[in-house]
Amino acid sequence: MDWRLGASFRLTMLATYGSFSSKLRNEVVMKLGTKIVGNFGANIPLNFGKIVKYNKKTRLERYGYAIDVMWENGSVTKLMTGEICTVEKLPERGISPIGYYTEEAYYAAG
């Protein structure tokens, strides 16, 4: 196998990855202090917390940036911004109420 074929393959893949980054541009930017509600279903009570760290260096395509959410009990959960349902994402969310929401989205969903 010729090494040039491998190089040309890598160059063609760059165009594919570029299309994913354009989808992230439409992402809702969350700020420090944004209130988050964790709904885990069944008999587990709701968790209430807020964003305490926003890491712009850690980014995954289609999932956004890394954030830390500190809950009322003092524990911290590491999430990606794409995992949190916002008011803009409510129509895409579907039927399941389980997951992480901004406080606005949780109460708008009813």
- Domain borders along the chain are 3-109
pLDDT tens digits along 1-39: 444 444 444 444 443 333 333 344 445 568 899 999 999
This prediction has a pTM of 0.68
**The pair of three-digit structure tokens given for residue 18, joined into one six-digit string:** 């570029």
| Sheet of 99-102, strand order | 76-80, 64-71, 47-60, 35-39, 99-102, 84-85
Q: Long-range contacts for 72-79 (Cβ within 8 Å, ≥24 apart)?
A: 72/47, 72/48, 73/47, 76/52, 77/38, 77/49
Handedness of CA 54, 60, 64, 68 (dihedral sign): negative
Dump pLDDT digits (tens) for 58-104: 878 777 889 999 999 999 999 998 888 887 777 766 667 888 999 98
